[in-house]
A and B are shown apart, each in its own frame.
Chain A
């Protein structure tokens, strides 16, 4: 056994320690990315090895929370992949219009960009008032930022371009107020959004959704955890409900795949029947 094997043992122990102490279970995440981030942190902070860092992680909550942010791989964007929103607007919204009340679950909502994009879409389509959006993430720090809805003004140029490509009907600047170096999303967008923490590795079903947005989370999971998460989505959807995954994600390998119809292949939109 060489140093690399020893390092892998330390990594495994560290993930177990994090689970026991803080409740976050990374056991079934794809390892490469987690290992890379841990080792980077190790190098940056001059720890001799993972075991030494584990001591710090267990005794220094701030240090852990900081690391958790890095492990969360949180990059979000408003109207990311604009063609998805075109599809939602033109194909999925007409189906949702048939319901008197709508329940929508944004899984792994990160800092909220995607949730506000959905709120804007629903407003423009006249469905917002009868919608309840549940936005969840395992990371409470990210959720807090999502709730605040404050974004760096430097990103707005791209978001505005995305909004337009996504078929936006208004002027994007109607939806926020600009301050010196940041923007604040309008309060009216937040009225029907409920933010709460939920971990796909350890928590349970979220009932009777009409639409679940779960984009770019499954890519970080191994097949076992993907299967668990997709099972949760299946159980949380009402019959005829829609599931939208990230562009590089698929339901193909999950046990519940046979209960879904692929309605828009390129946009990874599925429907439970």
Chain B
């Protein structure tokens, strides 16, 4: 079993509620970084870290260029920039053109996360009204990582989870209330498996 090193999350329409659900069950000693791309209006203020922090025991902040990624923190992509993950586990930002209308793009973040964390990565796709993230999920599965998708039936917008499920053999499909708890179990199990 893999010893996971990071969690990446993609969400779009309806995502803020879903992210609150995902983060709420995680304890303050959660051992991995959680890196989130949520589609936002390009000119929106970055209020998202504040909102999520009130629902979460972990510190939540906007990712900054060249920042070193640390375990037990939640990072959010800034609006209107792509968020990329470097192989030395730091962040880059980029103003490359939107990918399939999205900037930040889930695909761009997932793809670069796969280069950095390889098979030690957990990817989570939540609600959204487009297919951003499905290419990233495909890459993640090719590399041997683990993918959880929100059950489209419980999603405010089903396109994003649906296309992720169609893109690759994902590992787990769960209603949103169960995703956080499952993630916690998965990570704990992997850590124990890694020790023995």
User: What residues of chain A have their CB less than 8 Å away from a CB belonging to chain B?
Assistant: 4, 8, 30-33, 35-36, 73, 75, 216, 219-220, 222-223, 246, 248-249, 253
B-chain residues with CB within 8 Å of residue A30 when the two chains form the complex: 66, 84, 86, 92
B-chain residues with CB within 8 Å of residue A35 when the two chains form the complex: 112, 115
State whether A75 touches B95 (Cβ < 8 A): yes
How many contacts between A and B, using CB within 8 angstroms? 54
State whether A73 touches B115 (Cβ < 8 A): no
**Cα A223 to Cα B86 with chains together (Å):** 13
Q: What is the interface residue range for chain B against chain A?
A: 20 to 34
**Cα A249 to Cα B111 with chains together (Å):** 24
In whole Å, how far is A109's beta carbon from the nearest beta carbon of chain B? 14
State whether A248 touches B93 (Cβ < 8 A): yes
Given contacts A73-B94, A219-B94, A249-B65, contact A4 B118 (CB under 8 A): yes
Out of B65, B66, B95, B112, which one reaches A36, CB within 8 Å? B112
**Cα A249 to Cα B65 with chains together (Å):** 8
The 10 closest A-B pairs by CB, nearest first: A32-B84, A30-B92, A32-B112, A32-B86, A219-B93, A219-B65, A73-B96, A248-B93, A216-B95, A33-B94
Out of A32, A75, A223, A249, which one reaches B115, CB within 8 Å? A32
Given contacts A30-B92, A248-B65, contact A36 B84 (CB under 8 A): yes
Pairs A–B under 8 Å by Cβ, sample size 7: A4-B118, A30-B66, A30-B92, A32-B92, A33-B84, A35-B115, A219-B65
In whole Å, how far is A73's beta carbon from the nearest beta carbon of chain B? 5
**Cα A73 to Cα B108 with chains together (Å):** 14
A-chain residues with CB within 8 Å of residue B92 when the two chains form the complex: 30, 32-33, 219-220
B-chain residues with CB within 8 Å of residue A31 when the two chains form the complex: 86-87
**Cα A35 to Cα B65 with chains together (Å):** 17
B-chain residues with CB within 8 Å of residue A33 when the two chains form the complex: 82, 84, 92, 94, 96, 112
B81 lies within 8 A of chain A by Cβ: yes
